[in-house]
Structure 1
């Protein structure tokens, strides 16, 4: 994770940014596996059935809380929450979720988003707004597909039963 240049910030803000960088590294890339693949404690926690992915999401939320404190825009925060939500939701799928967790690295993504926002707020806000729009559009499309499939299944069942 390569830090981006940040604008002049207070010592407390710099310390908070350093803290979330360290946390993201611990959660996503702190352990080296044979073959050079880097994983973090988030992936290790994800191996614990039922609670591991949610515990990882809870730890990831600290980065989002710090982003709020550092003044990240609503769009950037929504994108950060989306990164954690995707990781947590896919993480519940056995094995595939663990592999996805190693590849997705939501915490490193979120710290990079925060650094970009602090360096160039307008550009990051614009890019995040587009990401949030596309995510909402995808969710609406998925809900429409689910509703259509539900109607088709009920219709097919009705034809076979009556």
Structure 2
């Protein structure tokens, strides 16, 4: 594990912090404290904007992985990127969501907690199990709703 120093002191990871800032917090609405980056602006370009933001987030994650983070932290970061990509891809809702969620800034915060406070250590198996249980419950709920819809449609005709 690296020493608990500021992320800024690690020359290898300054690029990661700068990219995350550019994607999530580079600009400010005049007269407010609300910050946003390129990610929500790119998402106004259908498909291409979503894909480019996702790929840049993946490159940032790959750089963090290259510099040695725990598997649990990598899973948490990947989940942030996945949530940002899935919900951000929904027309209209996704554009608004991207102004507020800021997956890259969240990942930088997680990375700092990892290095400075020793958080998010371990293999992440507990997190993986919870994710699969939630996904299974969502799938079961979706199947139930589809069966109910099919039954309703059958009774309708």
Question: What TM-score comes out, normalization by structure 2 length?
Answer: 0.83
Give distance in 1, aligned partners of 2:136 and 2:152.
24
Q: Does 1:7 align with 2:3?
A: yes
* Match of residue 63 from structure 2: 66
1:17 and 2:6 correspond? no
CA RMSD of aligned residues (A): 2.5
Q: Which runs of 4+ in 1 moved over 6 A?
A: none
From 47, 52, 57, the counterpart of 2:54: 57
Count residues with an aligned counterpart: 152
Match of 2:42 among 42, 45, 59: 45
1:149 aligned partner: 145
Counterparts of 1:1-162 in structure 2 under 5 Å?
A: 7=3, 14-34=10-30, 35-121=32-118, 123-125=119-121, 132-161=128-157
Taking structure 1 as the reference length, what is the TM-score of the superposition?
Answer: 0.81
**Structure 1 residue runs without a partner (length 5+):** 1-5
Q: Distance in 1 between matches of 2:88 and 2:59?
A: 19
CA–CA separation in structure 1 for the residues paired with 2:92 and 2:151: 36
Structure 1 pair 59/139, CA: closer, same or farther in 2 (3 Å)? same
Q: Secondary structure at the match of 1:48?
A: coil
Structure 2: give runs of 5+ residues left out of the alignment: none
